Amino acid sequence: MPRLFYFITEDWFFISHFLPMARAAREMGFDVTVVTRVKDHQRRILDEGFHLIPMNLSRSGTDPVTLIRAVRQGYNTIKQEKPDLVHCIALRMVVLAGLSARLAGARAIILAPTGLGHAWADRGIAARSLRQIMRLVVGRLLRGSRTHYVFENTDDPSEFRLQPTAGNVTIVPGAGVAADDFPAMPEPPSPPVRIAVVSRMLRSKGIAEAVEAVCLARDRGVPVELDIYGAPDPENPSSIPTTTLMQWSERPGIAWRGPTGEVAAVWRDHHMALFLSSYREGVPRTLIEAAACGRAIITTDAVGCRDIVRDGEEGLLVPVGDIDAAANAIERLARDGALRSRLGSNANRRFRERFTEEAVQRAIGSVYSSIKAKLSQESQYAK
């Protein structure tokens, strides 16, 4: 069996977003190993029939010693284990594990930035320099006949001077959500109109803007309430402190509910989704889940977000950082139940057409199939 190694920073990220890909690989005959930082999901990964190699790598460290150590660790793992295919997930691992795989002479490499994140959201001098380095590494140093790129939207390839229609690029529609796990449901009774944000608690995810927009709408007499679901992420530089979240919860109509493992139940009990991200998203899973459940969405006209939501079709798009526009959109949907229903139905239809778990498996399966055929051909020639 050809051996496929996933390099990914966190075990929870693999479980929450990439099980459909790994299962597709397993069904195609790959022997799957996950190389990641192990915290709470070791048993789950092993129970799937995958192998697991711990790799301790902070998502926030940028000092050269830490980065060189990570590349060396990846290099040693690949040299020792000799995987046939190395699949690097998210930008940090794309750069570090991608370099490891290239230096170790991996037979095939998939580079899969799931979004460009904080490095592209920050406008400071240091961030601009970091972007230039990443463009050089990902778009030039790691490009080659054995490298294939996987993106979640059609905007990101151009950042690395790649074309979304090129033969070495595949667009995969997000992480994939199982329709049975997120069924479309009728809205709960109203008023009040209940709005939910489901996200990591990061400033770049627009949590503060969501709070301010809902407060502004309430000041105008709009009968809305906001529930915020998610946990801070201390390793991310834009993480929101728990004290701030608790202070927001003291405002009328605002409640931070903490993390939840029952996202479908959140959408059952709420009328619309709000996600005012300024982050360079791939395709946000939170919007895919809301769409699957048939909820109208208010989100920003930003990369990734606009891939699932078209203004006036599946929801309403507002400019990044424009709290007044967001409050206007909230008021419009809160006062028009028929519009919410139409947008929610359209969102569910778009989900079923493009963003299901099966769609992701088909897209990544074509990549795996092509690479597997090339590996098999090389092996035949070697004999």
pLDDT at 62: 66
Give mean pLDDT, residues 105-131: 86
Residue pair 153/178 in contact (Cβ under 8 Å)? The answer is no
Do residues 336 and 368 both lie within one domain?
no
Mean pLDDT (the chain, rounded): 93
Q: State the first-to-last Cα distance of the chain, in angstroms, to the nearest integer.
A: 17
Edge-to-edge strand ranges of the sheet holding 169-171: 51-54, 31-37, 3-10, 85-89, 108-112, 147-151, 169-171
Give mean pLDDT, residues 256-279: 96
Do residues 53 and 162 both lie within one domain?
yes
Q: Which spans in 104-199 are helix H?
A: 117-121, 125-136
Higher pLDDT, 382 or 36: 36
pLDDT at 118: 74
- CATH code, domain with 156: 3.40.50.2000
Do residues 166 and 217 both lie within one domain?
no
Residue pair 152/283 in contact (Cβ under 8 Å)? The answer is yes
Per-residue pLDDT band for 125 (boundaries 50, 70, 90) equals confident
123 pLDDT more than 80:
no
Do residues 52 and 122 both lie within one domain?
yes
Do residues 190 and 157 both lie within one domain?
no
Give mean pLDDT, residues 187-210: 96
Do residues 32 and 126 both lie within one domain?
yes
In this prediction, what percent of the chain has a pLDDT beyond 90?
Answer: 83
Distance CA 313, CA 316 (A): 8
Per-residue pLDDT band for 122 (boundaries 50, 70, 90) equals confident
Give pLDDT tens digits for 1-11: 899 999 999 99
pLDDT at 324: 98
383 pLDDT more than 60:
no
Torsion of CA 109, 114, 115, 116, to 10 degrees: -40
Supply the angle between the helices 207-219 and 323-334 in degrees, to the nearest 10.
Answer: 60
Do residues 149 and 214 both lie within one domain?
no
Find the domain containing 320 and state its range. Answer: 179-354
Distance CA 9, CA 90 (A): 8
Residue pair 78/85 in contact (Cβ under 8 Å)? The answer is no
Q: How many CA atoms lie within 13 A of 135 on its CB side?
A: 15
pLDDT at 205: 95
Do residues 147 and 183 both lie within one domain?
no
Tokens of 190: 């109203």
In this prediction, what percent of the chain has a pLDDT beyond 70?
Answer: 98
pLDDT at 130: 86
Do residues 221 and 268 both lie within one domain?
yes
Distance CA 213, CA 195 (A): 11
Give pLDDT tens digits for 34-87: 999 998 899 999 999 999 999 887 666 667 788 888 999 999 999 999 999 999
Please count the structural domains in the chain. Answer: 2
Q: Which residue has the tokens 């915020």?
A: 228
Give pLDDT tens digits for 299-310: 999 999 999 999
Per-residue pLDDT band for 124 (boundaries 50, 70, 90) equals confident
Q: Residue 187 gets which letter from DSSP? A: P
Distance CA 174, CA 159 (A): 18
pLDDT at 286: 96
Q: Residue 241 gets which letter from DSSP? A: P
Give mean pLDDT, residues 330-350: 98
Tokens of 151: 């993106």
pLDDT at 382: 59
pLDDT at 161: 95
**Entry field: residues in the chain:** 383
Per-residue pLDDT band for 171 (boundaries 50, 70, 90) equals very high
Q: Which residue has the tokens 């040693």?
A: 76
Do residues 344 and 218 both lie within one domain?
yes
367 pLDDT more than 70:
yes
Do residues 283 and 360 both lie within one domain?
no
Higher pLDDT, 267 or 130: 267
Give, in order, the Cα–Cα distances in Å from 360 to each of 149, 174, 310, 348: 15, 7, 20, 16
Q: What angle do CA 176, 169, 370 make, to 5 degrees?
A: 80
Do residues 215 and 155 both lie within one domain?
no
Neighbouring C-beta atoms of residue 186, cutoff 10 Å: 9
